[in-house]
Amino acid sequence: MMEPGLYHILFISTALFFTGVLGFLTRRNLITMLMSIELILNSVNLNFIAFNKYIWPGRMDGLFFTLFIIAIAAAEAAVAIAIIINLYRSSQSIDVNNAEDLKY
Amino acid sequence: MPNATNIALIPLLPLAGFILLGLFGRKYIKNGAGLIGTALLLGSALLALYTAYDYFFVYGKVDGVYQQFVPLKITWLAFSKELSIDMGLVIDPISVMMLLVVTFVSLMVHIYSLGYMKGEERFPTYYAFLGLFTFSMLGLVLASNIFQMYIFWELVGVSSFLLIGFYYDKPSAVAASKKAFIVTRFADLGFLVGILILSYFSGSFDFQTLIARLTSPESNEVKNAVASTFLGASALTWGAALIFIGGAGKSAMFPLHIWLPDAMEGPTPVSALIHAATMVVAGVYLVARLFPVFSVTTPAVLEIIGWVGAVSAIIAAVIACTQTDIKRVLAYSTMSQIGYMMFALGVSSYGGEAGLGYTASMFHLFTHAMFKALLFLGAGAVIHYVHSNEMKDMGGLRKKLPITHFTFLVACLAIAGVPPFAGFFSKEEILLAAYNSNTAIYWIALITSGLTAFYMFRLYFTIFWNKAQGEHSAAANKHGEGGLVMMLPLVLLAVGAAGAGFIPFGEFVSTDGKALESHFHLSFSLAPVALGLAGILAALWMYAKANDKPARLAASLGGLYKAAYHKFYIDELYLFITKKVLFNLVGRPAAWFDRNIVDGLMNLTGNSTVLVSEGIKKFQSGKVQQYAIFFLGAVVLLAVLFIYVWR
Amino acid sequence: MNLLVLIGAPLLTALAVLVARNKQQVKWISLAGSFLQLGLAIALLLAFRQERAANNTAQMLFEQQYKLFQSLHISFHFGVDGISVAMILLTSFVVVAGVLVSWNVEKMTKEFYFLLLLLGLGAYGFFISLDLFILFFFLEISVIPKYLLIGIWGSGKKEYSANKLALMLMGGSALILVGMLGLYFTAGNSFDIMTLSKATITPETQHILFPLLFVGFGVFTALFPLHTWVPDGHSSAPTAGSMFLAGISMKLGGYGCLRVATYLLPEGAKEYATIIIVLSAIAILYGAFATMMQKDLKYINAYSSVSHVGFSLLGIGMLTQTAITGALMQMVSHGVMTALFFAVIGMIYDRTHTRMVADMGGLMKQMPFISTVFFIVGLCSLGLPGLSGFVAEMTVFVGSWQNADAFHRVATLAAAMSIVVTAVYILRAIGRTVMGPNTNEAHLVLKDANWNEKLAAILLVAGILAIGIAPGWLNDLLRPAAEVIMNRITGQ
Amino acid sequence: MMNGSTILFYLLAALTVSCGVLSISTRHIFRAAIYLLFSLIGVAGLYFWLAYEFIAAVQIVVYVGGIVVLIIFSIFLTQQAGEKLPRQRLDRKIWATLATFCGFALTLLQVWQHEFPPVIPQAPVTVRGIGEKMMSTEAGGYALPFEIISMLLLAAMVGCIVIALRSKPETK
């Protein structure tokens, strides 16, 4: 065991990211897919913060990006859930495999 | 000097008639159409007569030689400085002679039709077509340019087509008109290619230039042409032979004659004009027009012409003996007589005494026009009276139709070569010419002349004698012989048929323009006249009274009779070639190939595009996660590629 | 004469049609506009002859140039030589006739006439353009309306035909575009035909570019084996559509083959002449034989168009001045003739509601006028002297025959053979439809042509006769222009 | 060498990753939401560990307090209680796992192969510093993005309302 540093945090964020990706790819429920997306966003946030901390500690760009991403994530989640609920209302299902009316 | 305006007016007057009657005839002129057409043609005929007088007796002869004049030449279509299609008028002995024949016979037919076609629904159209035909025929005769001749040649063909198909609601008439057009068209293809070959080597379409360049063996043109050979014959021989094919098609020479008997579906006066007196001799005229080329440069082709003519003459004569439709008998007789004219040209050579065949051929053309037109018009009068073409519906008509009977007899005597009628003189010269140069052809001609007399009198006796009077249907007798307008042409033509032989033809028409003495040998004439009389007597014996001799004779001849009756199955052969070979083996596969292979390839291109896009469409499934997997996979793949492979 | 009026007149007419209030107005505006175009075309012919008579020997007359995209060297460059004048005249005749025979179109009349006029506009623009880019622009203008005309107003399997036609023509356009860009970049960054004609293009480049351009334009003019849009397209198109398609559109291709491919790339033309001759000879004979088996009048004319247009391509491939003149004459002649043919077929179809030869008979009795016109156009098609087809075909033959080797001879003979086959199928069609006994009771009450149909037919017949009886004027128009092209080919 | 900070880090890391994995693997949707909640809390803890208290606070407030609650509400709206989530198709699972692991491996490989510059310790940022920077209109200030984000949020709000509005039935 060694002192935790940038590599450790990057490992966590990578793991979280691909966990989210896997969830996004394998879940059929739209809400759980949304959750996976939140995981992905969080892993990105973690990256930003870690880089800000370890590589450019004198600046705040990573921090601000994180802030904005959180804000946008909130908006995104709200819109996504609105869409999901609307979809549920119209087709009584939020299975992603059924939501394919707009193909071709 | 020839007067260009007068001569140009000869063909233009009938053309005016065609335009006038064609455009306004149906609505505004109607019954006056016949008179207008006839009047215009009368003007034309008078001008032709004047021109002939003027040419033969006033200015045509210079130093004892009839000259060729080209009073008018307009460039119609120029291909290059040298090569152009001109519209010109040529005045020389044969063209003037043809002018006379065409205008005279056409005038007779015009007058005759006033009675014969009276009451027809398309009376004005009929006269319009007659005008078109006369115009085209005169244009052909006067052509100074080989392409001009081809143009009018085609126009003549189409007017013949229109007139044969005049009764357009009769399927047989339509079929006959199509057949006539297509067969002659096929022959015209040969003519066209022949023109192209000759004009390529001579560098001109103009008759005068072309003949001048191709008849001097030392000229470069001839040397070039002889140098280039194809299948063992020189290009020039091919060209001349192809041109003759054109002539043979129009003149119904064996084996391109099959259209002529069917062409009898047209109104009878039309048959008289087109398919007896004028258009069918266009082939003879063409050979005569290019005679110097044929005789000087390509004697081999001339020999072919002679044999084709002789074979046609005898085959047609044999077939004519067996036919029962009177117009068909006359049609085969026409073919046979044109065969005479052809082989007369074929046995002739250029210049002086040796050119007797040429003179004889033209002479026969002239006399034949008279008596054959007369025969047809007479037959028309009979048909008009009986309302049938079949011999078995006729008989004993000599009292009912006295004038017709008399004129028909004159014509029969003329064609049978009985002196002193016209046919005797011209046929005599032909036989003499043949005797002098080709004995085999002479014998064929001699036998043919006997056959001619036989089948003509077979016709004559069956129509006018044979049965007792009144045996044919009473319904037919409503109108009498057909009035003055129908009888006048018969009489005038009978005068021609009886007297035309006394014209000293050699004085006017010969290969080189110099006068040719016609020699008359009593001893030579004996054989053909005797044969002719024998033919007549045989016909008298068999057909003067109704009996079973013809049937027994036919039975004893067996296969020969049957073959002749079926026209030696040539029609069937053609039908086989066109229907079975051309349609089924060429046309149908071509159409199938186009629909299925060529178009199939196009559709294949289209369909494969559709198939590919159907395949690609699968990717666009609407399944978000599938997209995401592809996306991720592609990102990873690209990342690997960019990082490790393409670094 | 300002050439812009030739584009302006149809454009204004088309716009006026758009704002017209009702069908009557649409029709009369179109008619007036098309007659105006005819008048302008005739005025152009007269002005052109006058200039030439005044010894103006410039290759192109009435040139005008306006910069469009300076950076790409594209400009509106207009000018006419004899070929263009003849083609413009042809177009104006067909447009008038097309407007007249469409008098009974009830479905979406305004749009129909608008598209017709647009097609005409494209053709006029195409024929006066001296800039490849603008030429291409107008070519495309004349393609799209055809798709709509067939797809909306067509009959039979119209969607299939419209798609096929549009796709094949677009494919041709794509080849043209590539060839054009090739020219642009290899010959000094210019789209201008006059500039390009003076540029030196290496034989290797021509070897690549010529097939692109020739085949591209060849698709438009039914180059074998890319002709299969012709039968389907024609048979599905409405009458005026067929007339425009065969009368004008196929000529765009022929004009392009000559003006763009052959004129600009003479070495390529020489190199590929053999292939062109073989293909066109096949098209002529094979088209004729295929026609023989058709039962539908429109298919008959469509296949015979393939055969006839083959003469144009044959003439171009023969590369002699006379043959090229003949090819151009054939384009003009075939344009007028085939437009008339389709017009007549349309008239018959409007009445009998069938195009099957076997279902008709003896129409002469009920419709003497239409039948007579049918006769005339049929005779023209089989090359009767005195009508336009003869002049054109003979000129091609005479021109072709000037190549003295066996290959050219055989090709010419094969082509000449088609005139017999043509006679067979034309006479069969005529014999069955207008002649013969009446086979259908319902046809006994049919009426003859209306005034508008008569006018259209008379105009086109006049065109056929004008070429057929006195071909001199057309010859004078086309021959010098063909000579310019020949000089470029022989390198003088 | 284990000190409290290190132990804390590993605990937080374990919490975050394990809850993340559980959240995407459980077949009970409600549990998934709760695991997500803990995972997010773990991330917030990591922010604390990194001494970014403000971000950690925002993370807790927005994610834990906002988004997860929103998700739970939507689960209530759309899901029958106790119902298990449907299984995914096996082939898709296999492909997804394959692609994910490849990506994961590749990324880690890249991360470990990369030499980052050495760390320079600095004073932690204060909330005041964040506030000043955010409102600053000078170079390097974030006033403009801030405004844009606020516009975006407004737009999202309007969008949500529009989407969620029950459309009037078009029967008439």
Please give the Cα distance from C206 to D139 (Å, whole number).
60
What is the predicted pLDDT for the residue at D35? 92
DSSP class of B622: S
pLDDT of A39: 92
Tell me how far apart the alpha carbons of residues B531 and C64 are, in angstroms, rounded to a whole number.
85
The whole-number pLDDT of residue B325 equals 83
Nearest by CB to residue B591, choosing from C294, C395, C424, is C294
- For residues C352 and C319, the answer to whether their CB atoms sit within 8 Å is no
**Residues of D with Cβ-Cβ distance to A78 under 8 angstroms:** 70, 156-157, 160
Three-class secondary structure of residue B238 per DSSP: helix
Domain ranges of chain D: 1-85, 125-167
Contacts 24+ apart (CB under 8 A), A75-79: A75/D152, A75/D153, A75/D156, A75/D157, A76/A37, A76/D156, A77/A34, A77/A38, A77/D66, A77/D67, A77/D70, A77/D71, A78/D70, A78/D156, A78/D157, A78/D160, A79/D156, A79/D159, A79/D160, A79/D163
Burial class (CB in 10 A: 0-12, 13-18, 19+), C28: exposed
| Whether B591 and C413 lie within 8 Å, measured CB to CB | no
Mean pLDDT for B23-43 is 82
At D43, the pLDDT band (50, 70, 90 cuts) reads very high
- How far is Cα of residue C404 from the mean position of the Cα atoms in its chain? 30
Provide the CATH number for the domain around residue A31: 1.10.287.3510
A44 in contact with D, Cβ within 8 Å: no
Chain D residue with the nearest C-alpha to that of B629:
D96
Instruction: List the single range of B101-115, B506-520, C76-90, C124-138 with lowest mean pLDDT.
Output: B506-520
Q: Has residue A15 got a pLDDT over 90?
A: yes
b/e per residue C39-70 (b: at least 16 CB within 10 A): ebbeebbeebeeebeeeeeeebbbeeeeebee
Q: Find the domain containing A40 and state its range.
A: 6-92
Interface touch B624/A99, C-beta < 8 Å = yes
What does the buried/exposed string (b/e) look like for B281-301 if buried means 16 or more CB atoms within 10 Å of the residue's CB? bbbbbbbbbbbbbbbbbbeeb
Tell me the Ramachandran region of residue C225: left when phi exceeds 0, alpha when psi lies from -120 to 50, beta otherwise: alpha
User: What are phi and psi for residue B296, nearest 5 degrees?
Assistant: -85, -50
Q: Can you read off the two tokens belonging to residue C336?
A: 């007028």
Cis omega before residue A57 (within 30°)? Answer: no
Tokens coding B215: 């008849």
The pLDDT value recorded for residue B225 is 66
- Could you give the CA distance from residue A27 to residue A33 in angstroms, rounded to a whole number? 6
Q: Is C73 left (phi over 0), alpha (psi -120 to 50) or beta?
A: left
Plot region of D50 (φ>0 → left; ψ -120 to 50 → alpha; else → beta): alpha
Contact A50 D50 (CB under 8 A): yes
Is the dihedral angle over the CA atoms C132, C134, C136, C139 positive or is it negative?
negative
Characterize the bridge pairing of strands B65-66 and B69-78. unpaired
Residue C382: which residues within 8 A CB-CB, separation 6 or more?
Answer: B185, C389, C419, C422, C423, C426, C427
Tens of pLDDT along B573-593?
777 777 777 777 777 887 888
Can you name the residues that pair with B74 across neighbouring β-strands? B87
Q: Which residue has the higher pLDDT, C38 or C438?
A: C38
Q: What is the DSSP letter of B517?
A: P
Name the phi and psi angles at B390, rounded to 5. Answer: -85, 135
Is there a contact between C411 and C342 (Cβ–Cβ < 8 Å)? no
CA distance B221 to chain C (A): 14
Task: Assess if CATH 3.30.9.10 describes domain D1-85.
Answer: no
B303 against B557, higher pLDDT: B303
In this structure, the number of other CB atoms found within 10 A of the CB of residue A8 comes to 17
Q: What is the CA angle C183-C185-C186, rounded to 5?
A: 65
C-alpha span between B321 and B333 (Å, rounded): 9
CB distance C448 to C373 below 8 Å: no
CB-CB neighbors (< 8 A) of D96 in chain B: 625, 629
Q: ipTM surpassing 0.90, yes or no?
A: no
Beta pairing partners, B84: B78
C167 vs B473 pLDDT, higher one? C167
**Residue B188, strand partner residues:** none
What is the pLDDT at residue B319?
85
What are B135-160's pLDDT values in tens digits?
999 889 888 888 889 989 988 888 88
Paired tokens of B53: 């007088």
Question: Which of B203-212, B472-481, C348-357, C460-469 ranks highest by mean pLDDT?
Answer: C460-469
How confident is the prediction for chain D on average, in pLDDT?
84
Contact B624 A21 (CB under 8 A): no
Asked if B622 and A26 come within 8 Å (Cβ–Cβ), the reply is no
Residues C403-435 pLDDT 10s = 878 888 888 888 888 888 888 888 888 888 888
Which pair of tokens denotes residue B608? 């494969």
pLDDT in tens, B263-297: 888 888 888 888 877 888 888 888 888 888 888 87
C486 SS3 class? helix
B28 pLDDT band, cuts 50/70/90, is confident
Q: What's the burial of A6, exposed, middle or buried (CB within 10 Å: 0-12/13-18/19+)?
A: middle
Q: How far is CA B368 from the centre of its chain?
A: 14
What is the per-residue pLDDT across B400-427, written as a single tens digit (0 to 9) for each? 777 888 888 888 888 887 777 888 888 8
Average pLDDT, chain C: 86
What pLDDT score was predicted for residue B235?
A: 78
- SS3 for B500? helix
pLDDT tens, residue by residue, B458-507: 888 887 777 654 545 544 555 566 677 788 888 888 888 888 778 777 77
Residue with tokens 């192969």: D113
Q: At A20, is the pLDDT very low, low, confident or very high (cuts 50, 70, 90)?
A: very high
End-to-end CA distance of chain A: give it in Å, rounded: 54
Which of chain B's residues have a Cβ under 8 Å away from the Cβ of D95?
629, 633
Of the candidates C379, C376, C401, C399, the residue with the CA atom closest to the CA atom of residue C390: C379
Residue numbers in C near B151 (CB within 8 A):
385-386, 390
Give tens-digit pLDDT for C178-202.
998 888 888 778 888 888 888 888 8
Structure tokens at B289: 């027009």
Contact assignment for C385 to B586 by CB distance below 8 Å? no
More confident residue, D164 or B636: B636
Boundaries of every domain in chain C: 4-490
Range with lowest mean pLDDT among C386-390, C396-400, C466-470, D137-141: D137-141
- Give the model's pLDDT for residue A2: 66
Angle, nearest 10°, between helix axes B356-386 and B483-499? 150
Residue A76 covered by a domain: yes
**Per-residue pLDDT tens digits for B299-357:** 888 888 888 888 888 888 888 888 888 888 888 888 888 888 888 888 887 777 777 88
d(CA C444, CA B552): 51
User: How many angstroms separate the Cα of C376 from the Cα of each of A44, C457, D4?
Assistant: 83, 10, 109
Percent of chain B with pLDDT over 70: 94
Max CA separation in chain C (angstroms): 69
pLDDT in tens, C83-129: 999 999 999 999 999 888 888 888 888 888 888 888 889 999 999 88
Beta bridge partners of B514: B65
Asked whether the beta carbons of C18 and C25 are under 8 A apart, the reply is no
Min mean pLDDT across B387-391, C139-143, D119-123 is at D119-123
Contact C261, C214 (CB under 8 A): yes
Residue at A104 is within a domain: no
Three-state SS sequence of chain D: CCCHHHHHHHHHHHHHHHHHHHHHHCCEHHHHHHHHHHHHHHHHHHHHHCCCHHHHHHHHHHHHHHHHHHHHHHHHHHCCCCCECCCCCHHHHHHHHHHHHHHHHHHHHHHHHCCCCCCCCCCCCCHHHHHHHHHCCCCCCCHHHHHHHHHHHHHHHHHHHHHHCCCCCCCC
Do A99 and B622 count as a contact with CB atoms less than 8 A apart?
A: yes
Q: How many CB pairs under 8 A join A and B?
A: 26
Nearest by CB to residue D103, choosing from B625, B626, B636, is B636
- Residue B474, pLDDT score: 47
Gap between the Cα atoms of D135 and B5, Å rounded = 109
> What is the rounded CA–CA span in Å between residue B408 and residue B385?
15
- Inter-chain residue contact A100 with B622, CB threshold 8 Å: yes
Which backbone phi and psi does C55 adopt, to 5 degrees?
Answer: 65, 35
Which one-letter amino acid corresponds to residue D37? L
With CA atoms as reference, report the closest residue to B249 among B219, B292, B211, B279: B279
Tell me if residue B62 falls in helix, strand or coil.
Answer: strand
- Contact map slice: C 356-375 vs B, CB within 8 A: 362, 364-365, 368
Q: B-chain residues within 8 Å CB-CB of D113?
A: none
Give C 126-165 residues with CB within 8 A of chain B. Answer: 163-164
Burial B266-279 (b: 16+ CB within 10 A, else e): bbbbbbbbbbbbbb
Cβ-Cβ contacts under 8 Å for A59 (sequence gap 6 or more): A52
Q: Neighbouring chains of B at 3+ CB pairs within 8 Å?
A: A, C, D
Is pLDDT at B85 greater than 80 in this prediction? Answer: yes
Indicate whether A58 belongs to any domain: yes
A87 within a domain of the structure (yes/no): yes
Average pLDDT, chain B: 81
**Cβ <8 Å between A102 and B632:** no
B226 min Cα distance to partner chain C (Å):
14
Give B-chain residues touching A24 at CB under 8 angstroms: 625, 628
Has residue B365 got a pLDDT over 70? yes
Full-model pTM? 0.81
Q: What is the 3-state secondary structure (H, E, C) of B81-147?
A: CCCEEEEEEEECHHHHHHHHHHHHHHHHHHHHHHHHCCCCCCHHHHHHHHHHHHHHHHHHHHCCEHH
Report chain D's terminal Cα–Cα distance, integer Å.
Answer: 77
Is residue A56 situated within a structural domain?
yes
pLDDT at A1 over 70: no
Return the sign of the alpha-carbon dihedral for residues D87, D92, D98, D99. negative
DSSP code of C65? E
Residues of chain A found within 8 Å of residue B616, distances taken between Cβ atoms: none
| Nearest-CB residue to C401 (from B154, B178, B200) | B200
Q: Residue B550, preceding bond cis, omega within 30 degrees?
A: no
pLDDT of residue B475: 47
* Total domains, chain A: 1
CB pairs under 8 A between B and D: 22
- Residue numbers in D near B619 (CB within 8 A): none
Chain A meets chain B (3+ C-beta pairs below 8 A): yes
| pLDDT tens sequence across D66-78 | 888 888 888 888 8
